[in-house]
Amino acid sequence: MNILFVCTGNTCRSPMAEALLKHKMENVSVQSAGVFAHPHVQASDHAITALKEKGITCTHKSQQITDELLDWTDIVLTMTLAHKQMLREQYPTYSEKYFTLKQYVQNREDDSPLDDVIDPFGGSLETYNRTLTELEHLIDLLIDKLAMETKEGNE
């Protein structure tokens, strides 16, 4: 399965989610991108530090959403409802692939303003750590869901 995490600039939330999933689940292909990303920018210093404190290396370079990425991915997990809505407007062909991360792990079809993952951009290391804790919980739920789907697919 190919998974794409999406946030705004692809320097905080989506690279942390990507790094967490790569660290915890080796047999999945994962990338991240931003709806307003400047290409080839490394993850924010606090994102790198927060991950490093958990023993996770992050060598990320940002990328913008493209048709090629959307063709590659099986599922797009956005950090906010606004990201999901932006993708629906800009790339409607792929709408069936779009979910907020929270919506997907909670097996919901409905959109909720409560789906947003905290944006740490410009915040302290403590703020990044709070976001990383939230993402780690969501990534653990995602791994459980993917394992269950794989098991059901093999039965």
Look up residue 94 and give its DSSP letter: G
Amino acid making up residue 105: V
Residue 35 neighbours by CB distance under 10 Å: 21
- Catalytic annotation present for 12: no
Q: List, edge to edge, every strand of the sheet that includes 29-34.
A: 29-34, 2-7, 75-78, 98-100
Which of these is catalytic: 116, 119, 130, 140? 119
Per-domain residue ranges of the chain = 2-148
What gap in Å lies between CA 81 and CA 117, rounded to an integer? 9
Per-residue pLDDT of the chain (155 residues; tens, 9 = 90+): 999 999 999 999 999 999 999 999 988 899 999 999 999 999 999 999 999 999 999 999 999 999 999 999 999 999 999 999 999 999 999 999 999 999 999 999 899 989 999 999 999 999 999 999 999 999 999 999 999 988 887 77
pTM higher than 0.95 for the full model?
yes
The yes-or-no answer on residue 119 being catalytic is yes
Q: What is the pLDDT of residue 120?
A: 98
| pLDDT at residue number 26 | 85
pLDDT attached to residue 154: 79
Q: Determine which one of 7, 12, 58, 115 is catalytic.
A: 7
Out of 12, 13, 58, 115, pick the active-site residue: 13
- Based on the residue annotation, tell me whether 13 is a catalytic residue of this protein: yes
CATH fold of 2-148, please?
Rossmann fold (3.40.50)
What pLDDT does 117 receive?
A: 97
